[in-house]
Amino acid sequence: MQLHSFFNSSASYRVRIALALKGLASDYVPVNIRAGAHRDAEYIDRVNPSAVVPALVDGEFALGQSLAIIDYLDARHPEPRLIPSEPTLRARVLEFAYLISCDIHPVNNLRILKYLDAVLHVTPEQKDAWYKHWIAEGMAGVERMLVRHGQGPWCFGGAPTLADCCLVPQIANAQRMGCDLTLYPLSLAAYRHAMEHPAFDAAQPNKQPDYLGS
């Protein structure tokens, strides 16, 4: 398998965690989205028609979208299972993963911040306020979900799931951008627990071959 990834992409980070938790080897193919490599015709034609990272290539089968890739990996390599099959737990894990992947991450990703700069000419203070506003709004929901439904030491109990694969890159990003996360103690506890696990550690941006600094 090949993973087309950018070290600093949260969505790539999610898949790196999943691969590491399952002990699956893959070739790391860097796609420098800062330099626009995800828009290269060859990448679009051969790997990912939607022109984003990550993408997994498994033999002849190329697949984009981090959560679709993790679902696929769960089907092909079920141990350990990251999207639980028990219905109630499954629903909570998916709800939590979508809260991060649909409601928080997309609004603060690289292309949005670039547009704020290059097209809307916002000030650095406005960009910083934008980032922190959506983190505060989103993380409040994440924390309330963990208060209501979470069970440690992982987000949802005794084993890592897709929820942890989504939470960790989001928290890491927010920390990198200087957000105050002390209001979200359960989220931080789950993050810290995860970072002690070698799979989460190995998947970090600064452990990737294309690491360029933060």
Chain residues that interact with a copy of itself, rule: CB under 8 A: 44, 49-52, 61, 63-68, 71-72, 75-76, 87-88, 90-92, 94-95, 98-99, 101-103, 105-107, 111-112, 115, 119-120, 122, 126, 129-130, 133, 137, 140-142, 144-145, 147-149
Name which of 99 and 199 has its Cβ closer to a copy of itself.
99
Shortest gap between Cβ of 2 and a copy of itself (angstroms)? Answer: 16
Amino acid at 16: R
Shortest gap between Cβ of 202 and a copy of itself (angstroms)? Answer: 25
Shortest gap between Cβ of 46 and a copy of itself (angstroms)? Answer: 11
Name which of 115 and 211 has its Cβ closer to a copy of itself.
115
Q: Do residues 202 and 21 make contact, with C-beta atoms less than 8 angstroms apart?
A: no
* Peptide bond just before 80 cis, omega within 30 deg: yes
Residue 169 CA from chain centroid, whole number? 5
DSSP 8-state secondary structure symbol assigned to residue 126: H
Name which of 103 and 210 has its Cβ closer to a copy of itself.
103
Phi, psi of 154 (to 5 degrees): -85, 180
Q: Do residues 182 and 22 make contact, with C-beta atoms less than 8 angstroms apart?
A: no
